[in-house]
Structure 1
Amino acid sequence: MIKVTLVAGARPNFMKIAPMIHAIQAKIKEGSALSFRLVHTGQHYDKKMSGDFFEQLNIPEPDANLGGGGGTQAEQTAAIMVAFEKELLAHRPDLVIVVGDVTSTLACSITAKKLVVDVAHVEGGIRSGDLSMPEEINRMVTDSITDHFFTTSEIANNNLRKLGFPESSIHFVGNTMIDTLMANMPRFKKPEGELFEQLQPQSYFVMTMHRPANVDQEEKLKEMIDAIMKGTKGLPVIFPVHPRTAKNLQNLGINDPNLHMTDPLSYLEFNYLVKNAKGVITDSGGITEEASVMNVPCITLRDNTERPETIELGTNELVGTDPKKLPPYLEKLMNNQWKKYQGIPMWDGKTAERIVDKILEIYR
């Protein structure tokens, strides 16, 4: 029996893990000697992470919640490591699978290796080159002790080769986030409420902003919002907003009738809006992947990206954090002159199957 522990710490991690659960369940049905435990580290406490959330993704509720949320990054890392060590001692697996680049990814990979348990990193090898981002530290440390890398792109493979990892540890499988996107596309649903009823396809924008570089400097944030509202020429801009960002915006007195700040939306609702939008303006990495595959123009308000394939083959453009650079991009988008999605290799909705097949091959 191959025992696998799947680790998730934040909401996007569950999107990456859901297809792996489905692929494992399918193999178990076929008679494979495989079992799994789903561990939620509790890194992000999110009131939307209720039974409904797991129901939406069609996955079981976690077998364990480590309650590792709150505090500084160091406190969080320590709390997750202490709790995950107890979990592994009580339920020792053959393989721990970590995903993405959150604090839990780092904490659980270190804990597993110290107990001499193999670690696989889904999305291994991606790099932004920006050491001011906590996520970059998490990626570098996790990859340095990982046994098997399940990679999303040839760029990630080359990053790992340059670091000297053997070819036998690098498995190019694609992107599980896109598995989830493709599986759920028929189920996307319009959010409820008068605002959403009035939206016409391809005649509004979706915006997300959460990175401190964008939201914590008040004057710069005001300048950026002004540039966005000017460049979108009166089209509605839907901004599902973090409470902290909402507070910053209120303090700045930003009150444009076309800027609609909403509560955070569910996965199915948010992606419904993205799929039907004229364009997306974001500082999130994952959204650039989803927008690209849905062929929706995407503007990234960051100076670097760990997902360059979304620029080379996707619909994403890296504009930077200077509001003055934004107008020509918005003008191009408004004039329908944006590039089209060219297809990213292996982003085909079958990544999780390839991961589980590889695990069976390695650990049989």
Structure 2
Amino acid sequence: MTKEILMLKITIIAGARPNFMKIAPIIKAIEKAKSEGENIDFRLVHTGQHYDNKMSGSFFDQLGIPEPHVNLESGGGSQAEQTAKIMVNFEKELLANPADVVLVVGDVTSTMACSITAKKLNIEVVHVEAGIRSGDLSMPEEINRMVTDSITDHFFTTSEIANENLRKAGIEEDRIHYVGNTMIDTLLANQDRLINPEIKVDGESLKAGEYLVLTLHRPANVDEEEKLKDMMQAIIDGSGELTVIFPVHPRTARILKNLGIEHDNLHYVEPLSYLEFNYLVKHAKAVITDSGGITEETTVMGVPCMTLRDNTERPETITMGTNELVGTNPENLKPYLEKLMNDQWKQGSEIPLWDGKTAERIIKSLIHIHSNS
């Protein structure tokens, strides 16, 4: 039986699009615990790292996330400038609204910046999605993960691989909590709410299994114009009669405009909301991407996925899921596309604890930790 404790105040950080689907189930789990009599409450802080409505606002609406208690409006500028703005503004927020725990998710700039700020104020840091590593220090996200995990108090992990990464770093076992994947909580909770984006090609609606979804945004793929041009050509050449739907990240749109890449089967669309994008993915023949999170969603939905990166921080999507690591060389794509076209893609399997109940495990664990501290 949980002994009576003072109010457990958790400040939850959301900064960029990948964060929002991870915090939604955590907020719901806190509200559920409160309704059951637990002495717990939260304050939601939006750092403003992403401020475009398609990249931010629509996620709050669609996922039932309450309006943030505050928006720090720290977007724009270089990574250093953004980090500094977030830290300065979040320090003021924490001094005005003290917390027992600052809960950060994922690996964006806000994750690292808010963790550092909290620890300097001697506030406990909890990292959800801790321990994942790509081994690629050229990725800003890898730096964010390493710095955050170096000062985290309790680590909530998505896989046994992440657990092992933390053990190798000398983290004590009682601070590692293997709970699963909150992003999958959100995906499973919204399977019946996905929205058909009603994309039409030559006046016809898309047919399930007859199109590919493409996303590209990482500098390694989009910053070098000739390399991007070669990659786009490899995708077009290998996709046969399939339509390629490309929701274009704002960063990539500017580069593509300069290149003038066009083809009858290639269709650029505006960035989609969460529910629309996952409808598109669920009914696609396959996804080609350089995103980490999308590889998790395709694995759970059983959709073939090709990752245009030389490394991944989510190896379980390859060893157990439907994902393959293609690399950044456009020539690597051909055999994977051939395998897809010949219906020879591997079958994925279920990943342990990716069951829609991760957030409940996190909140139960935090209540237990603080009732015994």
TM-score bucket of the superposed structures, by smaller chain: over 0.9
Q: Which runs of 4+ in 1 moved over 6 A?
A: none
Cα shift at 1:246: 2.2
Contact kept, 8 Å, 1:125 with 1:149, in 2: the verdict is: yes
Contact kept, 8 Å, 2:16 with 2:56, in 1: the verdict is: no
Contact kept, 8 Å, 1:180 with 1:349, in 2: the verdict is: yes
Contact kept, 8 Å, 2:50 with 2:56, in 1: the verdict is: no
Partner of 2:173: 167
Partner of 1:26: 32
CA distance in 2, matches of 1:5, 1:50: 19
Asked if residue 185 in structure 1 is aligned to residue 199 in structure 2, the reply is no
1:260-289 deviations in Å (ceiling 9; x for gaps): 000000000000000000000000000000
Cα shift at 1:50: 6.5
Contact kept, 8 Å, 2:25 with 2:186, in 1: the verdict is: yes
Choose which of 224, 241, 244 in structure 2 pairs with 1:237: 244
Partner of 1:40: 46
Partner of 2:96: 90
CA distance in 2, matches of 1:309, 1:265: 27
CA distance in 2, matches of 1:156, 1:139: 11
Cα shift at 1:71: 0.8
Contact kept, 8 Å, 1:239 with 1:260, in 2: the verdict is: yes
Check 1:51–1:244 CA distance in 2 against 1; reply closer, same or farther (3 A cut): closer
Asked if residue 67 in structure 1 is aligned to residue 73 in structure 2, the reply is yes
Q: Output the aligned Cα RMSD.
A: 1.1
Asked if residue 206 in structure 1 is aligned to residue 213 in structure 2, the reply is yes
CA distance in 1, matches of 2:124, 2:253: 42
Asked if residue 325 in structure 1 is aligned to residue 336 in structure 2, the reply is no
1:101-140 deviations in Å (ceiling 9; x for gaps): 0010000000000000000000100000000000000000
Asked if residue 112 in structure 1 is aligned to residue 97 in structure 2, the reply is no
CA distance in 2, matches of 1:61, 1:11: 15
CA distance in 2, matches of 1:213, 1:55: 32
CA distance in 2, matches of 1:87, 1:212: 33
Partner of 1:16: 22
CA distance in 2, matches of 1:194, 1:335: 26
Contact kept, 8 Å, 2:133 with 2:313, in 1: the verdict is: yes
Cα shift at 1:302: 0.1
Secondary structure of the 1:348 match is coil
For 1:207, the aligned partner's letter is L
Cα shift at 1:244: 3.2
CA distance in 1, matches of 2:230, 2:149: 38
CA distance in 2, matches of 1:341, 1:182: 17
Choose which of 272, 276, 279 in structure 2 pairs with 1:272: 279
Partner of 2:369: 362
CA distance in 2, matches of 1:254, 1:33: 56
1:177-234 deviations in Å (ceiling 9; x for gaps): 0000000010001103433952110110000000111111111111111111111102
Cα shift at 1:52: 4.3
Cα shift at 1:239: 0.2
TM-score (norm 2): 0.96
CA distance in 2, matches of 1:186, 1:27: 25
CA distance in 2, matches of 1:240, 1:263: 5
Asked if residue 53 in structure 1 is aligned to residue 59 in structure 2, the reply is yes
Secondary structure of the 2:99 match is coil
Choose which of 124, 132, 140 in structure 2 pairs with 1:126: 132
CA distance in 1, matches of 2:244, 2:46: 34
1:1-30 deviations in Å (ceiling 9; x for gaps): 100000011011010000000000001011
Q: How many residues align?
A: 364
Partner of 1:228: 235
Secondary structure of the 1:96 match is strand
Contact kept, 8 Å, 2:13 with 2:103, in 1: the verdict is: yes
TM-score (norm 1): 0.98
Contact kept, 8 Å, 2:115 with 2:125, in 1: the verdict is: yes
For 2:349, the aligned partner's letter is Q
Check 1:350–1:231 CA distance in 2 against 1; reply closer, same or farther (3 A cut): same
Partner of 2:299: 292
CA distance in 2, matches of 1:92, 1:240: 40
1:329-348 matches, within 5 Å, as 329-348=336-355
For 1:115, the aligned partner's letter is L
CA distance in 1, matches of 2:56, 2:164: 39
Cα shift at 1:253: 2.4
Partner of 2:309: 302
Identity of matched residues, %? 71
Contact kept, 8 Å, 2:58 with 2:273, in 1: the verdict is: no
Secondary structure of the 1:250 match is helix
For 1:140, the aligned partner's letter is M
Contact kept, 8 Å, 1:51 with 1:61, in 2: the verdict is: no
Contact kept, 8 Å, 1:98 with 1:121, in 2: the verdict is: yes
